[in-house]
């Protein structure tokens, strides 16, 4: 064995212990929920600070739908209802799955479940001010920029009436 290799292995053991397995990256599952009130969609502006915007896909400073990550044991619908309530204070009465997207960049890889609801109670409030700084209603013909790319893909699928676009 070369001396350089032996030093490298010893260095790695010092950092990782005797368990030298390198963790493989995992694909996550998340939601984007299109909430419609009349002809307008609800979008929130993410904090510009990446540490506060809390997105593995790095969506700081973008406009996004309410959403988040699936927790162990949840249905897609229950997870989406939980996330919408945690972020906006809105209680969803009905929700349906409209699309699935494969969202990835250099930072992370997520399967995003796009959901739709126009039946909910309450008015949106900023419930997590460190992450989302405001919620506003927008016409689909006059969306703000920049859009969080997973939200943009859900909107594109909705407009084209597609369940999945291979990319």
Nearest-5° angle of CA 50, CA 54, CA 60? 40
Domain membership of residue 117 (yes or no) is yes
- Establish if 109 belongs to a structural domain: yes
Is residue 2, in this structure, part of any structural domain at all?
A: no
- Grade residue 166 by pLDDT with cuts at 50, 70 and 90: confident
CATH number, position 137? 3.90.79.10
Structural domains counted in the chain: 1
Residue 74 lies in a domain: yes
In a domain, 13, yes or no: no
Q: Against a cut of 0.85, is the pTM above it?
A: no
Question: Does residue 16 fall inside a structural domain?
Answer: no
Give residue 6's pLDDT: 39
Contacts of 145 (CB under 8 A, 6+ apart): 63
Domain that includes residue 110, residue range: 24-160
Residue 81, both tokens: 């209802």
125 is a domain residue: yes
pLDDT in tens, 55-76: 676 778 999 999 999 999 999 9
User: Taking residues 40-48, what's their average pLDDT?
Assistant: 95
Rounding to the nearest 10 degrees, give the CA dihedral for residues 108, 74, 41, 118: 160
Convert the pLDDT of each residue in 126-141 to its tens digit. Answer: 999 989 999 999 999 9
Q: Give a yes or no: residue 10 inside a domain.
A: no
Write out the H or E segment, with its range, that includes residue 150.
Answer: helix 149-160
Phi-psi region of 88 (alpha: psi -120 to 50; beta: other; left: phi over 0): alpha
The pLDDT of residue 106: 82
């Amino acid at each position: 064995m070369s001396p350089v290799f032996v030093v490298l292995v010893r260095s790695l053991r010092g950092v990782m212990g005797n368990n030298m397995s390198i963790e493989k990256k995992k694909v996550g599952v998340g939601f984007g929920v299109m909430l419609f009130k009349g002809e307008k969609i609800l979008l929130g502006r993410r904090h510009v600070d990446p540490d506060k915007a809390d997105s593995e896909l790095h969506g700081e400073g973008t406009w996004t739908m309410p959403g988040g990550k699936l927790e162990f044991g949840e249905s897609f619908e229950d997870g989406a209802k939980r996330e919408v309530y945690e972020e906006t204070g809105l209680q969803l009465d009905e929700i349906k799955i409209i699309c699935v997207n494969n969202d990835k960049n250099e930072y992370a890889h997520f399967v995003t479940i796009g959901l739709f609801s126009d039946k909910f109670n309450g008015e949106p409030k900023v419930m997590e001010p460190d992450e989302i700084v405001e919620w506003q209603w927008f016409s689909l013909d006059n969306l703000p920029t920049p859009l969080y790319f997973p939200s943009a893909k859900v909107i594109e699928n909705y407009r084209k009436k597609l369940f999945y676009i291979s990319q």
